[in-house]
Structure 1
Amino acid sequence: MTTTWFITGTSSGFGRLLTEHLLARGDRVAATLRRPEALDDLRAEHGDRLWTARLDVTDTERVRRVVDEAFEALGTIDVVVNNASYGLLASVEEASDEQIGRVIDTNLLGSIQVIRAALPHLRAQARGRILQVSTAGGQTTYPSLGYYHASKWGIEGFCETVAREIAPFGLALTIIEPGAAPTSFGTSLDIAPPLPEYENTPAADTRQAFLGGRFPVPNSAEKLTEAMIDLVDSGATSLRLPLGPDTYEDVRAALTGRLAEHEAHRDVAHSVAAGSRPRRDAR
């Protein structure tokens, strides 16, 4: 059975790999990217099963127009994949206002607007699903990636809400959390000029790991891509799909640590409830 996909950010990385794999197996793809000519080779090979459009997801009006045009051209879209992303390597003080705006506009607001544009069409179909590509960094953190985390934690919270809101319409949303893989992400990071004050700190350690090629990359980009496709094929509708041992272990450690800290505050949390007995300092 042929499945029709709408994918953002298809010029490289997971977006490009997804497009290649899906076309190779006979699916249809509406691929959006800032430079459509980057997919000329795939268009020549797969013809009208590949529909392309120029799109920068930070342009909200363009997002709405392109999503509408894709549904009109293809009739039905089964899967919407929010993949376009912008990575910023900078401590909190090092980033410029422009860099901060771009990471939030792309990863958070851009993804939100794609979902908002697609939902009326998906509801009208009474079927379909959304895959939001996030990262382990949507639930855990690394120094020098604070603004990236802000965008990914934000979109995960938004998507949790969306998933609950759209379930009554027969629609599903899954947050994909791929671990580090040899895609273009590491080499395409925007890197802010370092401040000398942050030398010999965890922020500098993360920066040097990326720049020196020492940041662990334990996953196969091909296998990650196949796992995303397998999820859709299986019909599973889990809220999250962690992919990679790094994602699994890092997120598990983060969740375990947060739960332990949460439990440590149980008494004080309950102490402020109306009607509870006031706590008194020990004398």
Structure 2
Amino acid sequence: MHQSTWFITGTSSGFGRRLTEALLERGDRVAATLRRPDGLAELAERYGDRLWVRALDVTDPVAVRTVVDEAFADLGRIDVVVNNAGYALFGAAEELTDEQIARQIDTNLVGSIRVTRAVIPHLRAQGAGRILQLSSMGGQIAFPNLSLYHATKWGIEGFFESVIPEIAPFGIGVTLVEPGSARTEFAGSSAAQAEPMAVYDDTPVGEMRRAAAAGEFPVPGDPAKIVAAIIDSVDVEPAPRRLLLGSDAYHLVQEALTTRLAEVEATKDLALSTDVDGPADTR
């Protein structure tokens, strides 16, 4: 097994931390970024120069460019870039503050875009590389009480749908990783909450809150198996465009796409009826 070098954002907890630990354990090098680098002190002591750590807040555009450039300069080559930094924001759209909305979009969506734009020139110069974007089953489905989180995940998927063919000629592959519910800290300590309004108590938003508080949502995903699948995906050629992970992710996304396709078919006659009469104008 050859040693690979990975660049991972958001490594303090969740999948970012678990990926870092698994990769170091198997002998790879990891450039790990997080807002408080002392959070990886134990791993740094154990693995020495195979772990490269820097402070990074992906909402800081200058810092993103600086840290990415420094990582490639210090490590020489980076095989896999993992956009993992992000968090969940819970609340009905009306309940969220402008500041909460801006921070959610700047972290989950714009932050991933910044990192991607910063690494592309380096990967292009290498003539190869893989980008793994942590999306979610929430990049193809949506629940009440999570509108802004879904906006960022649907947004980053749309971004990469365009970018994938842009960078494919340079040997750069991309995979959108779409886990379902997993037993990580994601919906706990790292999440943000809007101030609830009583008017939503007897609506689907209120139902979601009560179910979550009561622990009624199944959490089938095994983080260790998910991390192993993510790591294994980089050896698949060509890069799988999407990696659905978890039984809930498969069933919910399959149902959503089937429903959406039926809705598309229902519009067929109307859609075709709105074309110009006669041959299409190519202007």
TM range (shorter): over 0.9
Which residue of 2 is the match for residue 229 of structure 1? 231
The secondary structure found in structure 2 opposite 1:229 is helix
- Which structure 2 residues correspond to residues 120-269 of structure 1 after superposition, within 5 A? 120-187=121-188, 188-269=190-271
**Could you say which residue in structure 2 is the equivalent of 1:281?**
none
Taking only aligned residues, the RMSD between alpha carbons, in angstroms, comes to: 0.9
* In 1: Cα distance, 2:182 partner to 2:133 partner: 17
Contact kept? 2:43, 2:51, Cα under 8 Å: yes
Q: CA deviation at 1:212?
A: 2.6
Alignment partners' CA distance in 2, 1:248 and 1:123? 33
> Contact conserved, 1:178 with 1:247, CA < 8 A, in 2?
yes
Change (3 A) 1:25 1:235: farther
CA deviation vs aligned residue, 1:25-66 (integer Å, no higher than 9, x gap): 000000000010000000011000000000010111100100
- Please, which runs of 5 or more residues in structure 1 have no aligned partner? 277-283
1: CA distance between counterparts of 2:254 and 2:123?
Answer: 33
Q: What residue number does 1:44 align with?
A: 45
Moved over 6 A (4+): none
C-alpha displacement at 1:233, in angstroms? 2.9
Counterpart residue identity of residue 213, structure 2: L
Code of the aligned partner of 1:161: S
Asked if the contact 2:233/2:240 (under 8 Å) is kept, the reply is no
Deviations 1:113-169 (A, max 9, x none): 000000000000000010000000000000000000000000000011111111111
SS in 1 for 2:131: strand
Q: Retained in 1: the 8 A contact 2:97–2:194?
A: yes
Give the secondary-structure state (helix, strand or coil) at the position aligned to 1:234: coil
- What SS is found at the alignment partner of 1:238? coil
Counting matched residue pairs gives 276
How far apart in 1 are the matches of 2:40 and 2:21?
A: 10
Cα–Cα, structure 1 residues 189 and 209, in superposed 2: closer, same or farther, change >3 Å? Answer: farther
1:189-238 CA distances to partner (integer Å, 9 max, x unpaired)?
Answer: 21111111101111111122223322221110110000000111334411
What stretches of structure 2 of length at least 5 have no aligned partner? 279-283
Aligned residue identity for 1:111: S
- Superposed counterparts of 1:68-147, under 5 Å: 68-147=69-148
SS of aligned partner of 1:30: strand
TM-score (norm 2): 0.96
The 3-state SS of whatever aligns with 1:172 is: strand
